[in-house]
Amino acid sequence: MTAHYLITEEDQGQRLDQFLQQKEPTLSRTKIRKIIDLGGVHVDGKRVRRCSWNVETDQKIELYQDNCSLDPFRLNQEMVLFQDKYLIVINKPAGVDTQPTPARYKGTLYEALLVWLKKDKKARQPQIGMAQRLDRNTSGAIVFSIHPDAHKELTAQIQNHTVKKEYLAMVQGIPSPGEGTFHSFLKKDPTSHRMYSDPDKGKEAITHYQILKTWTDSALVAIQLITGRTHQIRTHFSEAGYPLLGDVQYGGPKIHGGCKWPRQCLHSYKLQMNHPKTGEPLSFSAPIPADMGAAR
């Protein structure tokens, strides 16, 4: 949800939280303050996280809400699969944005990682390199470089497709053949924000898959990404007629097999790479979350 306001002379000098309370009477003052603190309010295009900010005539105010928890996400030790001076690998829960969005800065994985790294008072100022991203409702292993000496090499491994990324997905229907490759060229629709195949203007996308388990009308599939386009797995399986369970945006069912699926059933299960500084082979696996229990 996005709301837009223009400050008039009558509004001049009001606190930001008081102004929004008047404009959005269904929102409590507490909720408005939490939205501001998360970073969901922008003034003239810039994020403002101070409730006491005084608005001025002709300023444009934007209020963003994403229907996620207003309590900021924080990392704990159980989520950290690996950490050294150069890298950190996180088991990201579903429902957490990897990077800041218009609706929030605080509580994204990026911001939570900054908070986590600053706990070590003796460590150098953290510098996070985002070489990889996961959708908000995709869970699992994701790697970040946390030292300038690692940024370039890790990014090169990602771009050269030498980082092996294996996912698990639960799909509607049983893909045929049981093992295969999707190869298309994907482009984003600017209106729906969905990806779709466009052989003329899209970017190359390659996805290998293999069925691991089947039920009456669904399957658990192991997937290896060769390229890493936005929504690549979700788009490929949807266009093939096997949308992910819970993936409403791409035609997947919310209820299937007598179960409710609150988000797309997609989990980043395994990452394999070489350490960007030492060259040592590394492999990490993220436990399958409870909401994909049938895949466990």
- Co-location of 156 and 58 in the same domain: no
d(C-alpha 58, C-alpha 61), whole Å = 9
CATH code: domain of residue 55: 3.10.290.10
Residue 221 belongs to some domain of the structure:
yes
Residue 103 belongs to some domain of the structure:
no
Q: Whose CA is closest to 268, among 4, 125, 92, 46?
A: 92
- Co-location of 227 and 289 in the same domain: yes
- Co-location of 219 and 89 in the same domain: yes
Residue 106 belongs to some domain of the structure:
no
- Co-location of 58 and 91 in the same domain: no
d(C-alpha 189, C-alpha 278), whole Å = 41
Residue 255 belongs to some domain of the structure:
yes
Instruction: Please report the pLDDT score of residue 126 as a whole number.
Output: 76
- Co-location of 178 and 222 in the same domain: yes
Structure-token pair, residue 58: 């002709």
d(C-alpha 260, C-alpha 149), whole Å = 45
Q: Phi-psi category of 58—alpha, beta or left, where left has phi over 0 and alpha has psi -120 to 50?
A: left
Instruction: Please report the pLDDT score of residue 150 as a whole number.
Output: 93
Q: How many domains does the chain have?
A: 2
For 212-266, the pLDDT digits (tens) are 999 999 999 999 999 889 999 999 999 999 999 999 999 999 999 888 899 999 9
| Parent domain of 83 | 77-95+128-295
Residues of the chain under the 70 pLDDT cut:
121-124, 294-296
Query: Tokens 């009001």 correspond to what residue?
Result: 14
258: phi then psi, degrees, rounded to nearest 5: 75, 10
Q: Phi-psi category of 148—alpha, beta or left, where left has phi over 0 and alpha has psi -120 to 50?
A: alpha
- Co-location of 194 and 257 in the same domain: yes
Instruction: Please report the pLDDT score of residue 16 as a whole number.
Output: 96
Instruction: Please report the pLDDT score of residue 68 as a whole number.
Output: 87
Instruction: Please report the pLDDT score of residue 294 as a whole number.
Output: 62
Q: Is residue 255 a contact partner of residue 125, using CB atoms and an 8 Å limit? A: no
- Co-location of 152 and 282 in the same domain: yes
Helices and strands in the chain: count of H runs, count of E runs? 5, 16
Query: Tokens 């408005």 correspond to what residue?
Result: 32
Q: Is residue 140 a contact partner of residue 268, using CB atoms and an 8 Å limit? A: yes
Instruction: Please report the pLDDT score of residue 1 as a whole number.
Output: 78
H-helix segments, the chain: 16-23, 29-38, 109-117, 148-159, 232-239
Q: Whose CA is closest to 169, among 10, 289, 22?
A: 289
Structure-token pair, residue 73: 């996400």
Active site residue 135: yes
Residue 37's contacts (CB-CB under 8 Å, 6 or more residues apart) are 49, 51, 106
- Co-location of 81 and 22 in the same domain: no
| Residue that finishes a domain, picked among 64, 85, 108 | 64
Instruction: Please report the pLDDT score of residue 123 as a whole number.
Output: 66
d(C-alpha 276, C-alpha 79), whole Å = 22
Q: Is residue 209 a contact partner of residue 166, using CB atoms and an 8 Å limit? A: no
Burial of 211 (0-12, 13-18, 19+ CB in 10 A): middle
Residue 278 belongs to some domain of the structure:
yes
How many other CB atoms are found less than 10 A from the CB of residue 102? Answer: 16
CATH code: domain of residue 202: 3.30.2350.10
Give the active site residue among 135, 189, 198, 200: 135
- Co-location of 198 and 230 in the same domain: yes
